[in-house]
Amino acid sequence: MRTWARRTAAVALTIPVLALVASGSASAAELTPIAEYLDATVASTSKSVVKALAALLGVTC
């Protein structure tokens, strides 16, 4: 459920960002909070994937 919520939030944020970028009216002040959120989400997901793979392979990280 948590993963679904994160993906939904990421998609909900990505669509308006793409619209702003495509129209050329996006400023750095508008995009920075969204970029920070997406960066944190990707980092969290990456950590989860590494942990899952480590558990499957029987190694520690």
Q: Is the pLDDT of residue 37 over 70?
A: yes
Domain boundary assignment for the chain: 2-57
DSSP state of 38: H
Cβ 31 vs Cβ 17: under 8 Å: yes
Closest Cα to residue 34, out of 56, 15, 54? 15
Q: What is the mean pLDDT of residues 21-38?
A: 76
Instruction: For residues 30 and 44, give the distance between their C-alpha atoms in angstroms, rounded to a whole number.
Output: 23
Q: For residue 25, what pLDDT is reported?
A: 66
Average pLDDT of 6-12? 72
Q: Which residue has the tokens 């480590």?
A: 54
Hey, what amino acid is at 45? T
pLDDT of residue 16: 73
C-alpha 54: how far from its chain's center? 22
